[in-house]
Amino acid sequence: MAHNHNHSHSTSVRKSNIGLAFFLNLSFTFVELIGGFLTNSVAILSDAVHDLGDSFSLALAWYFEKLSKRGRTVRFSYGYKRFSLIGAIINSVVLIVGSIYIISEAVPRLLSPQETNAKGMLMLAVLGVVVNGVAVLRTRKTSSINERMVSLHLLEDALGWVAVLIGSVVMYFTGWTVIDPILSIAIACFVLFNVYKNIHKVLPVLLQGTPADIDPVQIERVLKALDSISEVHDMHIWSLDEIHNILTAHIVVVGHNSMEHLAMLKLEVRSVLAQEGITHATLEFEFSGEVCGCMCN
């Protein structure tokens, strides 16, 4: 009973992460708009527009993450888990567009720095670091790709405000306004690099590639080490959402195998597969000398 309670609590916490991120992001967007006009800071106004786009993508991510928790249906026999990847793709696109926009705004300022209200920027930056920092702490320990993309959104915003904080302090005491665009470009490049790493993980899942942490050779080896199994072929391994791994395989059994023995063998195989990270397996038993009807190469 204790185990079930902890699991349920953990799941509810994960489900609330994206919702919290959305409301924090949307609320602070309006604060940025007002603060940008009051401080005459184009950088803050640009970040407000960027955060407004973030809020839209976070709302979609929240929806898709909740949708992914649904069970299987006639139309989606594996359930809705893969829908969370759609949110990850949308967030990736928004991050790429937003980062390119930040770079396009920052580069001209390298040549022609603009005066801003450094003291007002400093106050907004402190508030921005606190708000986004809390959201990052709530979402950093996440499991799904979609949630990691949301966490990356918030990390981008938090680092952006750290840059504004540092830049506003330096500008207040030295007047070196060129520091702000330099930091903005550095952060944008950092975000683009992390988006690339996440997309590099999303695409193999969408294309049903073998999960990076699963070794098909090792799985075939441990299955063939079981009694009554002489061969494993036509094995396919893929992942629904980088967490739930699926396997299908044809298994050749030898010796006298009654229905009861095959049922016990199936349980043993699934137990071994679970230890190798396989959460769902579809198995087809064949006997030695039987012609396999599979047409796959």
Q: What is the CATH number of the domain that holds 115?
A: 1.20.1510.10
Closest CA to 202 of 247, 257, 240: 240
Locus of tokens 């609320």: 27
Structure tokens at 76: 């989606």
Answer yes or no: do 103 and 238 share one domain. Answer: no
**Same domain (yes/no): 75, 171:** yes
Beta strands in the chain (DSSP E): 229-239, 245-253, 280-287
Instruction: Say if 141 falls within a structural domain.
Output: yes
Looking at the structure, do residues 172 and 251 belong to the same domain, yes or no?
no
Q: How many domains does the chain have?
A: 2
**Domain residues for 91?**
2-206
In this structure, the answer to whether residues 237 and 150 fall within a common structural domain is: no
- The closest of 249, 241, 195 to 222, measured between CA atoms, is 249
pLDDT at site 145: 61
How many helices and strands, by DSSP H and E, does the chain display? 8, 3
44 in Cβ contact with 124 (< 8 Å): yes
Q: Is residue 294 part of a domain?
A: no
Question: Do 44 and 132 fall within a single domain?
Answer: yes
**Domain contains 226:** yes
- Which H or E run includes 266? helix 259-275
Q: Residue 122 falls within a domain, yes or no?
A: yes
The C-alpha angle 281, 209, 201, rounded to 5 degrees, equals: 115
Furthest CA-CA distance within the chain: 86
| Whole-number pLDDT of residue 150 | 67
Token reading at 253: 């059994």
Give the whole-angstrom CA distance, residue 297 versus residue 286. 18
- Picking from 5, 145, 154, the residue whose alpha carbon sits closest to that of residue 84 is 145
Q: Could you tell me if residue 259 is inside a domain?
A: yes
Can you give the CATH number for the domain in which 240 is found? Answer: 3.30.70.1350
Domain boundary among 168, 185, 206: 206
Q: Give the DSSP per-residue string, 130-147.
A: HHHHHHHHHHSS--SHHH
Assess if residue 295 is contained within a domain.
no
183 and 64 share one domain: yes
Dihedral sign for Cα 137, 160, 23, 118, please: positive
What is residue 3's predicted lDDT score, i.e. its pLDDT? 42
With respect to residue 296, please indicate whether it lies within any of the assigned structural domains.
no
Together in a domain, 61 and 200: yes
User: What pLDDT is stored for residue 194 in this prediction?
Assistant: 78
What pLDDT does 247 receive?
93
> For position 241, what pLDDT does the model report?
76
C-beta separation of 140 from 151 below 8 A: yes
Do 200 and 254 belong to one domain?
no
Please give the angle made by the CA atoms of 81, 15 and 55, to the nearest 5 degrees: 95
Give me the residues of the chain with pLDDT under 50, please. Answer: 1-15
| Both tokens assigned to 13 | 């916490």
Give the DSSP letter of residue 210.
P
Q: Are residues 242 and 129 in the same domain?
A: no
Same domain (yes/no): 19, 146:
yes
280 and 252 within one domain: yes
Whole-number Å distance between alpha carbons of 76 and 9: 27
Structure tokens of 281? 């397996």
pLDDT for the residue 13: 44
Where a domain ends, among 206, 224, 251?
A: 206
Cα 53–chain centre separation? 18
Q: For residues 275 and 258, what is the distance between their CA atoms, to the nearest angstrom?
A: 26
Domain final residue pick, 206, 225, 253: 206
Same domain, 199 and 244: no
**Entry pTM:** 0.66
Q: What is the pLDDT of residue 12?
A: 45
Is residue 297 situated within a structural domain? no
